[in-house]
Amino acid sequence: MDQAAVEQLVMMGFPVNASRRALFNSANNVEMAMDWLCTHIDDPDYNAEFTPPEPVQSNVPQKPSASDLEGLSDEFKVFKDLISGINCPSQNDKIFKEECIVTCDSCFSEKGLFVCLKTFKSFGYKIIPDYVSKTGNKVFLNIKKSRLTKSPEEEPEAKRLAIGGEDGFKPDVLPWKETQTEEIYVHPDQYFPVESLPIEYVKRVAQAILDSTSAEFKAEVAAWKPDPPKKSIHADNLIQLDNGVKIPSDPSKWKCCKCELTENLWLNLSDGSLLCGRKNWDGSGGNGHALEHFNETKYPLCVKLGTITSEGGDVFSYAEDDMVTDPHLAKHLSEKMTFEAVYLDRNNYRVYRPKAEVKLEYFIPLIIIAAAMLILAIHILIVRIRASYKENETNREGGLPAYWDTIVPPPTEESITERFTVTANPPAYEIAVQDDVLPDHWGIDVASSKKTEMSMAEMELEMNKKVGSEYAAIVESGQELEPLFGAFHTGIKNLGNTCYIGSILQALFALPYFRENFHQPAEYDANCHENFWKQFQRVGHALCSGDYARPIIAKDASGTAIPQGSEQEGISPGLFKSIVSKGHADFQTNQQQDAVEFLLHLLDVIMKEAKKEKRENASANFGFELEERVEIGQSVQYKITHELMLGLPVDENDIENKEQVKEYEQKLEEARAAKQADPEVVRGVVSFKSSFSRLLASEAIDHFKSPIDGALITAYRSARISKFPKYLLIQCRRFTIGENWQPKKLNVSLEMPEELDLEPLRANGPQIGEDVFSEDAPKVDEQKINQLVDMGYPFNAAMKALYHTNESLELAMEWLMSNLDSPDFNEPLKLDKTAKKEEKTFSPEIIAMVTSMGFTDTQSKKALTATDGNVERAIDWIFSHMDELNDESSPAESSSSGPNQLVGSDSSKYRLRAFVSHMGSSTACGHYVAHVKEDARWILFNDNKVAVSQKPPRDLGYLYVYEQI
């Protein structure tokens, strides 16, 4: 374990043992460890003493030495010199085996995928020479997949729409067969079938890679985050029966005890019953025997076999009807249990489960009561114990309590006499404890268990992917669209709710700037799979080159290639998504997201990465200056802000065909009441002119605090563009809040023009005769101003006092008292613009408070300068500007190198190049597609389907991308 990483987390305020546990579970990655610490803070063992477990001994044979390979035939002697560079993967190694980390090649590429047997990184064939020359690693596992057509017997035609049923459409069955071959490739030209290798070590290494979960899929599963399961209320007090049940260690012998199913099996932790899970909507899954067993016995907790590892397993509570966590899973699977008894007489004793918190409760009075009250305290304690035990009394002569009936079967006389030693005539109420040591439960060794089945998160991810493919397969658009392939027509696969990423990338690469700057192939370096620019260029080259814009091909028995529908091979956005969404709470999940929010996040990442590597900022192409004019009584304030997107308001009050919409809604209601087909949809029509007028109009701001005197007034805000962008992003604000305060989508038609002139939106600056309030007014903490105003001090005086005392309330009050007689005491603060701005200084105590978090003096001063000396805000600033901490420039200089570097011209005229549309009730669900203008036609990008659009829905777009002309 990296001790420096432990110290770094401790300096941030995390406990020592928690830090060690977090780093162990995060492979010594500090950032991942911080996420772990924040999400596991409520764990009962969060800061318990932690000792890293001993690594499980691997069953992989020892790597042979060069001398051990002396007897190899000439064909295999090449391995004698290369064996030292062949490593066996461990559980902590990232194994890339689904797509090339430099190109977008996959196992379905012509020559397949090549996994380095030393680093476990995967490459397309074209990258191998460059990789070998830079690293010297020459040995790879070549994984190659191909598709074969199915015969009519293998793929009978669906006769009816009975999803998953007999003669019905089967969504999880591919229309082709997939085959896979594995060979060991030694650069430059030697291939060895894995089965033919005489070196057992190399064969086992290859098999370990094939059996492992890929890094790409691990990232997807980690990103797929439904609500985290809570601890079961039954976990602490679960009773388990000693019935001799043992679970075979061989998974092939697992079978539901009520049917013949051998998959999706759940072990009941109370009685060891092995039962199948619930039946899924499509007929798959199980027969629901685990649920039936719970209804009969009320045994609540089950663990899914095949998911049990030393880290835990998937546990479901039928009593709580939800996935849960069982912190005592290892104990419930293998450790010994202890029961206790209170003996009263030969025919009357009470049996109960050990419960530490109850026992401690009884002894708390002994700690807090004075020694003089000790005798009385013991008497009270005995009375309380008697009352508690009486609730769970088990009498031989009858009357078992309901407590036993709901937890475990009522104990019989035989089982009790076998378990407890009965002594002759003990005094009444004497506490006699006997240990009932049970054997290991169910015979499962948790430490050596390995995962053999998908976890519930993995199954949910796979189900989500199926839903996406089913939607594309079942729903027909009604139009015969001409599919497109080749350069600039590459589709992007949907990995289950990644359509928002694909549609944004297609819109960006419709623009000349991105095509010209990111069309070159990326080159390999050691960190290319973690480098943003490498991955962005990797995607850009794939989209522009057309190398992956090929139809999916399956070969028939004669070897003839037959296209399988209109879908492309396309590219996967998986690696790119993992890089661009790193550290973002929403985008790093596999939930559907708002495409506009993702675009703004992507442009922010581009800006930060460009600054970090001192390269051209691509996001500056979208930046523009917005002049904000606010009328404050008789004065006017002008403020310049830098924006990346223009919001176009959409209002239902502007609908022009309200009568037709009302008539349609009435017909729709009548048709559904009569169970008839829905009438043709009639959408409300909103003209672009009316929405643009709303954009130009002034907006009233109620309860606006005047910067002049602090009074609450109604101000009027309007905005104009002072510098136009090269590429203009317009968000059509179709989403609003309904009357019930729920998100609502305005299903209206708003025809956006193909050519747009924003001259009416051009800023004119301050006008002659306006009383302009200085926009250079200093920024002072408003909350502190209000505190001084509440004490009776005037607004302007409070602002000046705080400004001149570095926002110290105590010093500000002293300043106010010493300046009460000043003639300009309540005059607005005015700064000398010609005076050179003094560098802010901070007391050593304030700097020490920030440096105690592990940051340098320079970094601490930079953060304090950016936040006007506020320590709490400075620490927040540091964590949100980690990439700027080593930059020597000031915060002001840093911000000026961002989107302020505008690249647009003075022209206000634009032409539409692309738009992204959304289908669904909210941005948190539904589907995104992109339309791109190419010469005189529009191209539809719907995941990995690319076709000529017949009727581009320009009136239904959510995001529009215009190019300056």
Positions marked catalytic: 499, 927
Alpha helices in 374-511 (DSSP H): 374-391, 402-407, 413-419, 456-474, 499-508
Question: Exposure string (b/e) for 593-614, b if CB count within 10 Å is 16 or more?
Answer: bbbbebbbbbbebbbbbbbeee
- Helix (H), strand (E) at residue 844: helix 844-851
Do the Cβ atoms of 552 and 766 come closer than 8 Å? no
Do the Cβ atoms of 451 and 309 come closer than 8 Å? yes
Q: Which of 911, 848, 839 is nearest to 874 (CA)?
A: 848
Q: What are phi and psi of 941, to 5 degrees?
A: -110, 105
Cα(521)–Cα(509) distance, integer angstroms: 15
Local structure of 598: helix, strand or coil: helix
Cα(935)–Cα(120) distance, integer angstroms: 44
User: Which residue is it, tokens 């709580």?
Assistant: 320
Q: What are phi and psi of 266, to 5 degrees?
A: -125, 130
The two structure tokens encoding residue 634: 């008789």
Question: Exposure string (b/e) for 862-873, b if CB count within 10 Å is 16 or more?
Answer: bbbbbbbbbbee
- Helix (H), strand (E) at residue 231: strand 230-231
Do the Cβ atoms of 302 and 267 come closer than 8 Å? yes
The residue type found at 131 is: Y
- Residue 44 region by backbone torsions, left for phi larger than 0, else alpha for psi between -120 and 50, else beta: alpha
The two structure tokens encoding residue 867: 């936040």
The two structure tokens encoding residue 157: 């035609």
Distances (CA, A) of 25 to 15, 20, 35, 40, 650: 15, 9, 11, 11, 48
Q: Which of 563, 541, 566, 542 is nearest to 484 (CA)?
A: 566
User: How many CA atoms within 13 Å lie on the side-chain side of 663?
Assistant: 6
Cα(660)–Cα(682) distance, integer angstroms: 7
Do the Cβ atoms of 69 and 80 come closer than 8 Å? yes
Strands of 502-573, DSSP E:
551-555, 561-568
| Cα dihedral 941, 943, 946, 950 sign | negative
Distances (CA, A) of 423 to 171, 430, 433, 435, 799: 68, 11, 12, 15, 84
| Cα dihedral 519, 521, 522, 523 sign | negative
Question: Exposure string (b/e) for 383-422, b if CB count within 10 Å is 16 or more?
Answer: eebeeebeeebbeeeeeeeeeeeebbbeeeeeebeebbee
Cα(202)–Cα(212) distance, integer angstroms: 15
Cα(609)–Cα(846) distance, integer angstroms: 31
Q: Which of 285, 262, 290 is nearest to 275 (CA)?
A: 290
Q: Which of 107, 104, 100 is nearest to 123 (CA)?
A: 100
Burial-class residue 732 by CB neighbours within 10 Å (0-12, 13-18, 19+): buried
Cα(541)–Cα(521) distance, integer angstroms: 5
Cα(780)–Cα(806) distance, integer angstroms: 9
